[in-house]
């Protein structure tokens, strides 16, 4: 069997929709949560713990008939900066995208400072992104840094 066929066996192809590949396996379920995929009624295929040269173990998500907008996709850049997005129409890739860490994010992530107002009162968290390689976020309220290793999704 050819390599190509082997790949297709692992995760079945979709006709129209979005494929999100190169998600670090440990963050796969966080991506599902950020994109609110549990609320979607179309078919979703999820692959978990696939071998990846770059990431060790990776995850892949195929969403039928849905095309999340760039704003939503960029949210996952926080926890899956290497993610590759393929837009599929009629079984063919019509567009390739990468995610980009935005300069500023609202919501999604909790401030890691236990003394921060956002952890006491109903305040939507706001962060300035001060580093995009090792993603570091500076809380607009308490001004403390939340680093990548401490990201906790809201």
Partner 1 sequence: MKNKSLISIHDYSKEDYFKIIQVASEFEKNAGQASNLLAGKIVATLFFEPSTRTRLSFESAVQRLGGRIIGFSEASSTSVAKGESLKDTVKTVSQYSDLIVMRHPIEGSARWASEVADVPVVNAGDGANQHPTQCLLDLFTINQTQGTLENLTITLVGDLKYGRTVHSLLQAMSYFNPKFRFVSPKELKMPNEYKIFLDQNNIEWSEHEDLNLVLPESDIVYVTRVQKERFSDPIEYERVKNAYVLHKSMLEGTKSNMRILHPLPRVNEINVDVDPTEKAYYFQQALNGVYTRMAIISLILGLK
Q: Which residues bind partner 1 (CB under 8 A)?
A: 111, 113, 115-118, 120-123, 139-144
Closest contact distance (angstroms) between CB of 142 and Zn ion is 3
Picking from 130, 115, 78, 119, the residue whose alpha carbon sits closest to that of residue 100 is 78
* CB neighbours of residue 76 within 10 Å: 23
Distance from C-alpha of 130 to C-alpha of 138, rounded to nearest angstrom: 7
- Contact pick of 84, 141, 151, 153 for Zn ion (by CB under 5 A): 141
Q: Quick one: tokens of 136?
A: 């570091």
Nearer to partner 1, 108 or 139 (CB): 139
DSSP 150: G
Q: Quick one: tokens of 26?
A: 């440990």
Nearer to partner 1, 96 or 144 (CB): 144
Q: Are 127 and 121 in contact (CB under 8 A)?
A: no
Contacting range for Zn ion; rule: CB under 5 A; set: 2-10, 41-49, 65-73, 134-142? 134-142
DSSP 9: H
Nearer to partner 1, 55 or 140 (CB): 140
- Contact between 116 and Zn ion by CB under 5 A: the answer reads yes
Catalog residues that contact Zn ion under the rule CB under 5 A: 111, 113, 116, 139, 141-142
């Amino acid at each position: 069997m050819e390599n190509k066929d082997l790949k297709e066996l692992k995760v079945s192809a979709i006709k129209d929709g979005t494929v999100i590949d190169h998600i670090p396996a440990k963050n796969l379920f966080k991506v599902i949560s950020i994109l609110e995929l549990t609320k979607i009624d179309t078919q979703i295929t999820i692959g978990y713990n696939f071998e990846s040269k770059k990431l060790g173990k990776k995850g892949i998500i195929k969403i039928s008939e849905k095309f999340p907008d760039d704003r939503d996709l960029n949210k996952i850049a926080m926890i899956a900066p290497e993610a590759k997005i393929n837009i599929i129409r009629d079984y063919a890739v019509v567009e390739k995208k990468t995610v980009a860490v935005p300069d500023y994010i609202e919501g999604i992530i909790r401030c890691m400072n236990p003394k921060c107002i956002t952890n006491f009162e109903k305040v939507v968290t706001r962060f300035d992104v001060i580093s995009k390689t090792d993603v570091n976020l500076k809380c607009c309220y308490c001004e403390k840094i939340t680093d990548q290793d401490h990201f906790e999704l809201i």
